[in-house]
Structure 1
Amino acid sequence: MTDRNDSLAISLFSEIFMADQLARNRISRALPRGMELSHFSVLNHLARLNEERTPAQLAAAFHVTRGAMTNTLNRLDWAGHVHIRPDWDDARRKLVSISPAGRSACDAAIQAIAPVLAEAVADIGEDRLRAALPVLRLLRQKLEGGR
């Protein structure tokens, strides 16, 4: 890379890291009491998929360790937000699904964070954000492929 490209990459990733930190902070504060961002992320993922996943699949989807995902799933299970059952075809595995209470909690979280997200979209403008999405998506795909 040239010095100019290095500077561009550093500036780009500095902005992404700061935006990520600020977004996580704002969304975390808006979430219902007792819900963490990791909890919401897993519930939202399961709600969108609408099918069971193994803890290992969830860990891979979120790029976290199996231990970290197990901790999150245990907390969600304790709260009654997920169902964790043995895999009937392979007793060594477990399957996780969102519970009705988890769907309600996810919906409540979406209601709570929607104003924060809507404010950002309104201030920046839908067209500008829509134009940025393909570049951010390509960057994510490039980073996922470069493990």
Structure 2
Amino acid sequence: MSDRIVSDAGLPSDHAAFKAMVEIEMIAKLATRTFDGLLHSGMTRAQFGVLNRLARLDARETISELADIFGVSQPTMSSTVKKLLDKRLVRTEGSASDGRRKVVRLTEAGTDLRGRVTQSLEPLFAEVEAQHDLLDWDALLDQLALVRAAFEAR
């Protein structure tokens, strides 16, 4: 492919996997900056992360489980969930397996907000696709999922 973009993610002698990880890190930083600008006033990336997790997995998870998944302390996750509760984006209910435990679920408002944020990214994706007509998001996603799975397994 003659219009290949040359990466400055490493030295020519560096392993391609290392360069790919650096590219992913740079993309993550740029995407984070873009994404932060799309979040509604008062919404943090951490709060959106919880909404997204609950929505994409149609999950009901305890605060403890969410804290483990996001790699934060239980008090930090409790604070994040409380802010989402205050905004009526999630609700808590008793666990089916243990009535003493509470699970966190999305509300309709939480689902709607997540949808609005993800839809607001569509013009950016269309712009990238227009500039790079050979970009195959599905193939890229499959490859990235393999890398993520390998890291999760560690």
RMSD: 2.6
2:84 equivalent in structure 1: 76
AA at the equivalent of 1:113: L
Deviation at 1:73, TM superposition (A): 1.0
Relative to total residues, which structure has the larger helix share, 1 or 2?
Answer: 1
Structure 1 unaligned blocks of 5 or more: none
SS at match of 2:40: coil
Are 1:56 and 2:89 counterparts?
Answer: no
Structure 2 unaligned blocks of 5 or more: 1-10
Deviation at 1:31, TM superposition (A): 1.9
Deviation at 1:78, TM superposition (A): 1.3
Deviation at 1:84, TM superposition (A): 1.6
Query: What pairs with 1:1-147 in structure 2 (closer than 5 Å)?
Result: 6-87=14-95, 89-125=97-133, 127-146=135-154
TM-score, structure 1 as length reference:
0.78
2:5 equivalent in structure 1: none
Q: How many residues align?
A: 144
Paired residues of 2:63 and 2:104 also in contact (CA < 8 A): yes
Paired residues of 1:55 and 1:66 also in contact (CA < 8 A): yes
Rounded Cα–Cα distance in structure 2 between residues aligned with 1:109 and 1:83: 20
Deviation at 1:6, TM superposition (A): 4.8
Rounded Cα–Cα distance in structure 2 between residues aligned with 1:37 and 1:126: 30
